[in-house]
Structure formats: C-alpha cells, structure tokens
Amino acid sequence: MTMQAATRAFDVSAARKDFPILDRKVHGKPLVYLDNAATSQKPRSVIDALTKFYTEYNANIHRGVHFLSQQASEAYDAVRGKVQRFIHAGTEREVVFTRGTTESVNLVASSFLKPRLSAGDVVLVSAMEHHSNIVPWQMACEACQASVQVIPMDDTGTLDLEAYRNLLTPAVKLVAVVHTSNSLGTVNPVTEMTALAHEQGIPVLVDGAQAVAHGPVDVQEMGCDFFAFSSHKMLGPTGTGVLWAREDLLESMPPYQGGGDMIASVSFEKTTYNEIPFRFEAGTQNVADVIAFGAAIDYWNGLDRAAAAAHEKNLLAHATSSLESMNGIRLIGRASAKAAVVSFVAGGINALDLGMYLDTQGIALRTGHHCTEPVMDFYGIPGTLRVSYLFYNTNEETDLMIRALDRGISLLSG
Amino acid sequence: MTMQAATRAFDVSAARKDFPILDRKVHGKPLVYLDNAATSQKPRSVIDALTKFYTEYNANIHRGVHFLSQQASEAYDAVRGKVQRFIHAGTEREVVFTRGTTESVNLVASSFLKPRLSAGDVVLVSAMEHHSNIVPWQMACEACQASVQVIPMDDTGTLDLEAYRNLLTPAVKLVAVVHTSNSLGTVNPVTEMTALAHEQGIPVLVDGAQAVAHGPVDVQEMGCDFFAFSSHKMLGPTGTGVLWAREDLLESMPPYQGGGDMIASVSFEKTTYNEIPFRFEAGTQNVADVIAFGAAIDYWNGLDRAAAAAHEKNLLAHATSSLESMNGIRLIGRASAKAAVVSFVAGGINALDLGMYLDTQGIALRTGHHCTEPVMDFYGIPGTLRVSYLFYNTNEETDLMIRALDRGISLLSG
Amino acid sequence: METIAEREHEIITDFGLFDTWEEKYQYIIELGQKLPPLDNRYHDDAHKIKGCQSSVWLRCHETDGRIYFEADSDSTFVKGEIALLVNVLSGQRPADVASAELGFIDAIGLRQHIAVTRANGLASMIRQMKTYAIAFESTGGGA
Amino acid sequence: METIAEREHEIITDFGLFDTWEEKYQYIIELGQKLPPLDNRYHDDAHKIKGCQSSVWLRCHETDGRIYFEADSDSTFVKGEIALLVNVLSGQRPADVASAELGFIDAIGLRQHIAVTRANGLASMIRQMKTYAIAFESTGGGA
Ligand SMILES: Cc1ncc(COP(=O)(O)O)c(C=O)c1O
Ligand SMILES: Cc1ncc(COP(=O)(O)O)c(C=O)c1O
C-alpha cells in the first residue's frame, strides 16, 4: 500500500448508505450509534444474504444429495476459505466455526488446555481481559488446581512487558491476551508478546474480538497459536464466529462436543471422529449465519481498509480532543497504541444516568463495566461511558454526542 | 379440542403461500421438498423477523442502556416466554437457549451427568438414537469409565419396553431417549418410559428434535427432566435451539461455558455466576436468530395444529401405501405410532444413485444413515432413502416422487 | 390520605403532560434530585437491595398501622423511580402495599424506555417494598 | 494414443450435447453400467479408497511405461465418474497422470451438480490415481 492510497479520504457517506439501520430515528432523533464495540451494524448485503438463503436454498448441509443441500453446503464451505484468506491462515483446515469468541475460548480451555493442565500450573492473562477471556480459564484451572495469573498494566492502560517477561515461568501453560481492549481501546503488542512466550515454549491465544473490525489481521505474521473472534462485531450476523488454531495443535485436540457431522462413524461399541475442522463442529451448523458472515467478509474485501483505518484514527483524535476539552471529564485508557474506543467518567455523575440522558437524544453508547470488571477495579470506578467507533461513524456524530453530554452533565449536576 | 375441529380440512395451499422457497424450481422442475426431518423451510414471517431486527433494532443485549439495546433485549427475553408456553414448561427460568439439540445434549452431558458419574455407571439410550444423543454420552462415559447401554427394538422399529424395564438398574444414572425417530419415524412412549425411570429415581432426557414439528409438546405432562430441540427443524432459523430442564436440576448444575453475561461478578480472585437460565448462556447471545425463532413459534400458534396433524397423518398413509404397492421397495420402520417420516430401500439399488436421480427431477429427499448408523447396522443396510413431511407437503408431491422413483429404478436396474 | 389508586392516577395525569421520553426522563431526574436523602448510617448491606444495577438502599418503618419508606441510590434516575414508588406506597396500609398492582409504571411508559437491567432493578425495589409490607402485616416489626 | 488434453476435449464435446442435468446424469449412469467390472479379489481394504461416501476400489498396473486403471463401486454413478477418469487417464504416462489438471470436471458441470460429499469422493479418487502414478514414476512397481 502506498502513502497515496492510505491518505485517500474515506467516503463515509457512501459507506453509511450500505447500512439501513443508520437511517432510523430513536426517540424522534436521528440514531447516533456509538456502541460498535458491543456489536456492529450490518450492511444490506449481509441482511440480503440471509434472506436469499432462506428464500432460495435453505437446506441442511454435508449429507444431502439434493440440489439445495448441495448449494447450501458449497456456500457454507466457501466461507471457510474466505475466513482463511481474511486472517491469512495457512489452510482452511485451521478454521473452526463456533458461536463466537466466547465459545472459541471455551473450546480451547476444554479441548486444549484442560488435558495439559496439572496442579500448580498457570494460565497467564492480561489485566484488561474481557470476562470471556478470564472465566473459561478460571473454570479450567479450578478443576485442576491451577491458577490464573495476571500481566499488570499501568495507569494509561498499557501492559507492563517487563513484568510479562518475568511471569513467563515454566509453570505457564498458556498465555491468553486480548489484541484490542474493548474497554480501554489499547492495542497490545501481540506479535512481540507471542514471540516472548514462544521463546519459553508457551502457546498463545489471542482474543481478536475487537481487532478484526479495526484493521487487517495476519495470524501467521502474528505467530500466535489460537485466534478467536465473533462475526457480529465485524458486520456479520449474531450466532457465529471463529476459532483459528494452528493445524498441529488442532489435530492434537479431542473433540469438544459430540453429535452429528463431527463423527467418522458411530456404533455403540466404537465411535471414531471426523477430521479437523469438522471434528469441532457437532450438530447442524449455523448454516445461514455462516453464509451471511461470508457476505460480511466480502464487504470488508470491497472496502478501502487503509482509508477506513485513517478515518477511524481521525474519529479517535477528534473524540479524544473534544472530551479532553470538557470540564470534569476523565479519560480511562490512554495507551499510545489505541483503537477508536474512548472510555471516560464524568466527575461524580452516575454513568447510567448520563447514558440514559444521551439515549433520550438518540445517542447510543455503552455504560458500565463492559464485561471487564477487573479493569474497573483497577481504576477504582464502578464503570465508564464508552464511545466506540466503526468506519461508518462521523465527527459530526461525535459533536452531537459532546453537546448532549454537556447538557446531560448540567442537568444531572443541578 | 373437539372432534369437529380436528377433522376440519387443513388448508395446505394457504400454508404453502407462507413459504417463499416452495415456489422455486430445481433443475428446471418445481421443487418437491421432502427432506423436512433434516431441516424445515421457513415462513416469510421468520425471514422478515431477521430483516426487521437487522434493519431496525440490532444491538447487543442485557447490558445496554440505549433504546436499541433495550428493544433487542425485550424481544430476545420475550422469546423465552414463548418457548415456555409452547412446550408448557412451568417457568421461563427453565428455558436455556443453545445452538440446537446437539448442544443441549452436550450441556446436560457436561454439566449434569459428568459430575454425577462414577466408574461402572450406565447411561441408557435407545437403539434408534441420533448420533447427537449417543456421542455426548459416550464421551462423558469414556472420561468416567461408565458405559452406554442400549434399549433394544424389534424389526418394526418399536422399542422393547419389557427389556427397558429390566435395564433400569441402580447403575443407570440417566435415560436419554428420542421422542420421534428421524430415521424410522417411530414415536416412542416417552411419558410411560419416563414414569418407569422415575420409579427407580432415574432422570430422563427426551430428544425432541423431531417431535416439536409434528404435534403439541407438554413437558410437564410428559414428566421428563430434560427436553432438547432445535429451532431449524420447526420453521425457525439455524443456529439456535433449546434445552428445557427442570428448575431444581438446572439450579444444581455448574455453568457449561464461561464468559460475558453468565456471571454475577468477575475478579481475578473470585468469580460468581449469574442465576439460571443466564448462567448457561455465555457470551453474546444469538440475538437475531432467537428473535426469529420467536416468530416461528408465533407461526405455530397461528396454525390449526390439529388439522395440520390430521393432514400429516394423511400424507403418511398415502406415502406408505404408495410405496408398499411398488415392486422391490422395502419399508424400514413400521411402528404403529409413527410420524410422517418414511424410510425405505429399493432392492439392490444404491440409495445415493436413486437419490441423485430424484434430484434431477427436482425432488429433495435424503439418502444415507441419517446420523443413526446403529439403526442401519441393526437392519444390515448401508442406508435408506427417506421422505419426511411437514404440513405444507401434499399427496401430489408424493405422487411425483413415486413416479420419479419408478423411472429411476428402471434406469438404474438397466 | 389518598389511596394507592388515587396516587397512581395523579402520576399518570402528570406524565400525560409530557410528549417525549426526554421530558419524562427530566421529570424523573427532578424527582430524584428532590428525594429527601436517607441517613448515611442506613447505607449498609442490610438495607441494600440485591438485583439492581445501581446501588439502592431502602428503609421503612411503621406508625399507626401505616408503612413509610425512605430510600437512596447512587443514580439520580433510580432515585426518581424510588420517589415515584415512595409517593405511591409510603403512608399506606401494609396490606394495601402488599397487594398493590402498580399499573402506573406501564401507564406512564416507564417500562418501555428503561433498559431491561433497570426494569429488573425496579422489580427488585418493588419486591423488597412488598416484602417489608408483608412482614409488617404479620409481625408489626420495624426494619 | 491420444493425450490427456485430447481426451478431456472429447468428453467436453460429448457433454456439450446435453442441455439438462438429467441428461448428463443418465449419460454418467450409462458409462457406469458399461464400466468393465474389477475382479472380485480386488474388492478388499488394500484397494479401497478412503474419503468416498460410496465404496470405491481402485487397482492399476503398468505396461511399457504406461499406467492402466481398473475400478469398481457399489454406486453406478460413481462408476460412471470412474469411467470418465479411466477414459482420460488410463494408458497415459505416469508423469502426465501425476501432473494432469483435469479441467474437464468443471467444464462439463459435474462439480456444480454433485453433492459435496461426492465431490470429495471424486477428489479422493483423483488423489489416489495420482499417488499411484507418482509411485510408478519413481519405482515402476505395481499396486
Ligand atoms: C432425532 C434427532 N436428534 C437430534 C438431532 C440433532 O439436531 P441438531 O443437528 O439440530 O443439533 C436431530 C437432527 O439432526 C434429530 O433428528
Ligand atoms: C475483547 C472481547 N473479547 C471477547 C468478547 C466476547 O465476544 P462474544 O460475546 O461475541 O462471544 C468481546 C465482546 O463482547 C470482546 O470485546
């Protein structure tokens, strides 16, 4: 990519036209959707893919000899290749469809970690993990008298790599770290962190739930062993997501759930399992949503991602400086490498009250702990307000939010 | 319901109009869809519910203060009540949303059975189970040196209740039995079987994957402890389904997967879990599909189910007698209590070859073991051809299938 | 002393003046800001209501067969909701509180607008108020 | 002896005569019915191809630097597919078989019409044929 390409302006109004929901009103006001870290909105092509599937070729897959089943199977199977190319995986066989990031992490905790875990062992996570990248490890560790240890961060929300290095002891059986934090916006140096873990022979899982929507991902370059993400946060439907795992590790893992399609043959005496990745996809697959997820990847491929990233950088800079210039606002998370996510608290004002006021103005943002309670405990706050952007957002939306925030703060201080 | 109501003719052409896909052509011929046991087609209202969600109120649920999140949360939560009423459960708290039947069974195997299983214990399943109601038990038993034992059936595909009685020993920790067999059509006496198991204090899981589309279900009347089914087989979207479990059992079960929304609070020192049923729904829920599943239940509620059942009975009778009158056709599964599912083999002719020929005629049926390999082993056949009906099918479709079958058989015998 | 139904009716009439959710929200915030504070010594676990996303403390006492509520929250909006409940239920007979249906909450369009977690909080508050009322009905004791 | 490309071209021409999938299906069935049977003693595990939904047995031998295939299946359609492959690959030089791209499968519209499980079966057959060819290339042995 040339500098030229990267600096070509992103055509945000064209992009907005692809997202039907962005035209709607809320409480009589135009919707300002700034809750993208919770879930993204969907382009028309994704919604149409669902309609097309159900009106034209809905069928159960992989075992049907008839045309609809064939068409559905091909469409479903083709998405595996799309995912492979999207994250630059070595082969399709490394792509497992799951319900989403949470299930991907649970699958690794159950099929990879648990059989390798003994008393005294350690799973290393960072201080800014989402509950979905904490609780599955706690559950696995509890069952084996192992423990979860924490890579500390500083007040800006930056991980302490020196401390991390020292934590990489032989007891560590896995490092599980978030690529892009959903509550702080921090982008962690996962490539470097993976390399450090690998020096000690420790495998690494990267939680990519937020990362995939904010820039290209290359799992081979990153070097990690597992990469988990959700369709719904990257323009696709709810109900599906991906576990990418290195082929040799996946081969070594026992199945997670049992049922149809994950078997080679079943008898009451002896059941043998299918090959990877099918071994990990028991039961009727979420066919429609996987196919629509494929449409979401097509949408990303049609987007000028460099320009979109530059646009998001601009959104982040504008939101940060606007909020900084307001009285009583304290930004939570000031890492130098940050995605377009801004958390803040407004003096002594209750975040929910303020969030509700913004809602009366049609502005959707999130308040609370964002499923990262340990982060809130770290900062000694019950929660934050969080604005989180995607390429279809505008600085005008930020300005509307800032004005409403201002009014809300005076109302609630009164 | 009065006899009058039950015998009012079902308006099948009106019903067909609700299913857009039934108008399509395959290989230039009108689609004849007789693969409903694999998956059902979807009424327009279900497809529209998905579109409406994504174009009007897509948001992440349960933690959002803003209007869209609120609207989505309410719509999602309302489906729990719909499911409760649909299966006549005692309370909404007993309804867990899963990916489908397979995951529901795995959840019970992992969170209910495994902690209660010791070496020498037994899980009792029937000879006609779907792989999804075999493999999860095998996996759990293998981990605990317990075993899966089998309730035998006779040549008609009817379970041997005398043998069942004798198998109900103190070693049995769970009975898992299919309500309606997907490969034989047999409707098992699950109420009676549950009562017998309960006399010995043994809990019962009923696999309702096929049952829910063929008649009303009342889990309280049935008396079972767990009931599992899939949305996609009952007019709803792929990717969701239900585990119903008796409240006290569910309360006693540890979580299945860890992550967002299934927790009460998380810290690195101590995590506490949410109450039922949320404890079992980790991560971002399949919001859109659950809501569209609700639309499917609405559709069932708007249907004259007694008339639909009578119509299906008629379809079954016609298909059975038509196939019986053909040379060389052998019906597999001749239980007296049968749903509208007919499996058969055609002399020495390869089922796949015949299925492919029917496909050239636009006729979609299934060939193979239908994820019930032990049933095929029992009959000593590699697989069957299977036609499976839903209320929107017609006897004319059966006639088209029979004529094509006739031509296919002569072609392949040549 | 007005009945519960009469008080609910008044609130419904008040809210009838507002066209938008914004106005209702502001009115509830005002009610919250005007709610008399609960003495600090009652901000403890014994008086805390479980199941609310915000912290809510509730205390009540009985005088002459009537039940009186005082409450507080870290959220002004929740205080406004409490103010509405206190307005309707405080000073009523325990039996009437225990059996109150509180249709005004739906009538003023509160439930449609507040997030589900909030609605659960509201339900928890109501449940706790009724629990107190039932306790008074049978024992006449304070909490 | 025609080259692989020439044989593929002929098959593509043949299939060009058919308008519908039904006709193509029938033609493949006819080819399957005409495929010379494989001697029964080769219907064993050593000659069975893994990864096919139907049972498929494949055997080959070399004469004068050319490789010859014989095969059988319990499915007539699969036998038809085998007949197409045998037609194209039997009697060719091992090196040519090993490097054949077999574009005719897509060109005659076979892949779009056969179920994915079948397509995998076809892929397994081709893979096995090429494996034999490679073995002959290096060792000249029979299978
Ligand atoms: C009887 C029976 N049980 C279980 C299943 C598994 O359901 P699913 O694949 O939707 O999880 C099916 C359908 O495939 C079935 O027919
Ligand atoms: C960083 C991070 N990890 C994990 C998750 C869990 O993803 P999901 O809820 O889609 O399973 C989320 C989103 O909720 C997230 O932001």
Q: In whole angstroms, give the CA distance from residue B34 to residue B52.
A: 29
- Judged on CB neighbours under 10 Å (0-12, 13-18, 19+), C107 is middle
Is there a single domain that holds both residue B176 and residue B250?
yes
With b meaning 16 or more CB within 10 Å and e meaning fewer, what string describes D18-37? eeebbebbbbbbebbeebee
Ligand nearest to the CA of A210: 2
A210 lines ligand 2 (CB under 6 A): yes
Q: CATH no. for residue B369? A: 3.90.1150.10
Q: Are residues A324 and A256 in the same domain?
A: no
On whether both B152 and B278 belong to a single domain, the answer is yes
B93 with B197, same domain: the answer is: yes
- A257 shares contact with chain C (CB less than 8 Å): no
Cα-only R_g, chain A? 22
Active site residue D60: no
Are C78 and C56 spatial neighbours (Cβ–Cβ below 8 Å)? yes
Q: Which residues contact B137 (CB under 8 A, 6 or more apart)?
A: A258, B105, B109, B113, B123, B125, B148, B174, B176
Is the separation of the CB atoms in C21 and A357 below 8 Å?
Answer: no
pLDDT at A8: 78
What does the alpha-carbon distance between residue D113 and residue B304 come to, in Å, rounded to a whole number? 38
Model confidence at C114: pLDDT above 80:
no
Q: Which chains touch B (3 or more CB pairs under 8 A)?
A: A, C, D
Residue C116, pLDDT score: 57
**Per-residue confidence (pLDDT) for residue D116, from 0 to 100:** 58
Q: Are A175 and A296 members of one domain?
A: yes
Amino acid at B45: S
Q: Which of C22, C26, C75 is nearest residue A352 as measured by Cβ atoms?
A: C75
Handedness of CA B41, B44, B46, B47 (dihedral sign): positive
Q: What is the mean pLDDT of chain B?
A: 95
Q: Give chain A positions within 8 Å (CB) of B285.
A: 238
Q: What is the pLDDT of residues C5-63, one digit of tens each?
A: 999 999 999 999 998 999 999 999 999 999 998 999 999 888 888 766 778 899 999 99
Contacting partners of chain A (3+ CB pairs under 8 A): B, C, D
Same domain, B100 and B197: yes
* Residue B389: HSE in the Cβ half-sphere, 13 Å Cα cutoff: 30
Indicate the angle between helix axes C21-34 and C4-16, nearest 10 degrees: 130
Nearest to A260 among B131, B355, B377 (CB): B131
Q: Is residue B104 in contact with ligand 1, taking CB distance under 6 Å?
A: no
The reply to whether D118 touches chain A by the CB within 8 Å rule is yes
CATH class of D4-139: alpha beta
Which pLDDT score is estimated for B2? 42
SS3 C69: strand
Q: How far is the CA of B100 from the centre of ligand 1 (A)?
A: 8
Residue A4 banded pLDDT, cuts 50, 70, 90: very low
A361 & A250 share domain: no
State in Å: Cα D55 to ligand 2 middle.
Answer: 45
| Residue D142: per-residue pLDDT | 45
* Same domain (yes/no): B279, B357: no
Task: Please give the distance, rounded to the nearest whole angstrom, from the Cα atom of residue A283 to the centre of ligand 1.
Answer: 7
Which of A150, A355, A364 minimises the CB distance to B268?
A150
Residue C142's pLDDT band, with cuts at 50, 70 and 90, is: very low
What mean pLDDT do residues D26-36 have?
94
C117 — pLDDT class (breaks 50, 70, 90)? low
Taking the CA of residue B260 as reference, the ligand 2 atom at the shortest distance is 9
By DSSP bridging, strand A122-126 and strand A147-151 are parallel
Q: What is the pLDDT of residue D51?
A: 67
| Pair (B296, B308) in one structural domain | no
Q: Which of D51, D23, D118, D45 is nearest to D79 (CA)?
A: D118
Let me know: does A135 contact B283? Beta carbons within 8 Å.
no
What's the longest Cα–Cα distance across chain C? 45
**Do B13 and B69 belong to one domain?**
no
Does the pLDDT at position C115 exceed 80? no
Q: Which of A156, A188, A157 is nearest to A175 (CA)?
A: A188
Interface probe, candidates B70, B77, B261, B275, chain C, greatest C C-beta count within 10 A: B70
- Closest atom of ligand 1 to B232 CA is 10
What residues does each domain of chain C span?
Answer: 4-139
Supply the pLDDT for residue C136: 84
Nearest CA among C92, C80, C81, C79 for reference residue C133? C92
* The last residue of a domain, from among A248, A280, A301: A301
* pLDDT of residue D94 exceeding 90: yes
Looking at D4, D35, D38, D52, which residue is catalytic? Answer: D52
A272 touches chain D (CB under 8 A): no
Among B228, B250, B213, B286, which Cα is nearest to B105's?
A: B228
In single-letter form, the type of residue at position A37 comes to A
Ligand lying nearest the CA atom of residue A286:
1
Closest-approach residue (CA) in chain D for B413: D33
d(CA A316, CA B114): 49
Cα of A259 from ligand 1 centre, angstroms: 8
Please work out whether the CB of residue A207 comes within 6 Å of at least one atom of ligand 2.
yes
Q: Is the pLDDT of residue B229 over 80?
A: yes
D120 — pLDDT class (breaks 50, 70, 90): low
pLDDT attached to residue A2: 42
Cβ of residue A230 lying under 6 Å from some atom of ligand 2: yes
* Cβ A12 vs Cβ A394: under 8 Å: yes
Ligand nearest to the CA of A371: 2
Same domain, A111 and A136: yes
- A205 backbone dihedrals φ, ψ, rounded to 5°: -105, 130
How do residues B159-206 score in pLDDT, each as one tens digit? 999 999 999 999 999 999 999 999 999 999 999 999 999 999 999 999
Please say which residue of A301, A317, A347 terminates a domain.
Answer: A301
Count the neighbouring beta carbons within 10 Å of the beta carbon of residue A56. 13
> What is the crossing angle of helices D21-34 and B395-413, to 10°?
30
Contact criterion met (CB < 8 Å) for A74 and D118: no
User: Among all chains, which residue has been given the structure tokens 């299919």?
Assistant: B178
Single-letter residue type at A410: S
State whether the beta carbon of A374 lies less than 6 angstroms from ligand 1: no
Q: Please state the domain count of chain B.
A: 2
- H-only helix segments in A259-304: 287-302
Strands B366-368 and B363-364 turn out to be unpaired
Distance (angstroms) between ligand 1 centre and the Cα of D37 equals: 39
| Residue A334: partners with Cβ closer than 8 Å, 6 or more residues away | A156, A157
How far lies B176's CA from each of B35, B105, B350, in Å? 25, 9, 33
Q: How confident is the model at residue A1 (pLDDT cuts 50, 70, 90)?
A: very low
Contacts of B70 in chain C (CB under 8 A): 113-116
Contact yes or no for A260 and B105 at CB 8 A: no
Q: Give exposure, A153-167, as e/b (b: 16+ Cβ within 10 Å).
A: beeebbbeeeebeeb
Answer yes or no: is A166 within a domain.
yes
pLDDT of B5 strictly over 70: no
- Which of the residues D35, D74, D114 would you substitute to probe the B interface, choosing the one with the greatest number of B C-beta atoms within 10 Å? D74
- pLDDT single digits (tens) A209-253: 999 999 999 999 999 999 999 999 999 999 999 999 999 999 999
Closest C-alpha residue for ligand 1 atom 16: B182
Q: Among A236, A266, A301, where does a domain finish?
A: A301
- State the CATH number of the domain containing residue B184: 3.40.640.10
| Whether the predicted model's global pTM rises above the 0.80 cut | yes
| Most confident among B240-249, B260-269, D99-108 (mean pLDDT) | B240-249
- The residue range of the domain holding A367 is 3-30+304-412
User: Considering the domain boundaries, does residue B40 fall inside one?
Assistant: no
The answer to the question of residue A35 being in a domain is: no
* A30-85 per-position pLDDT tens digit: 999 999 999 999 999 999 999 999 999 999 998 788 999 999 999 999 999 999 99
Structure confidence by residue, pLDDT tens digits, A139-197: 999 989 999 999 999 999 999 999 999 999 999 999 999 999 999 999 999 999 999 99
Name B230's bridge partners: B241
Q: Is A209 in the pocket of ligand 2 (CB under 6 A)?
A: yes
Q: pLDDT averaged over chain A?
A: 95
Q: pLDDT, tens digit, for every residue of A63-73?
A: 788 999 999 99
Angle A201-A207-A211 from CA coordinates, rounded to 5°: 125
Q: Which ligand is nearest to the CA of A228?
A: 2
Contact B412 D20 (CB under 8 A): no
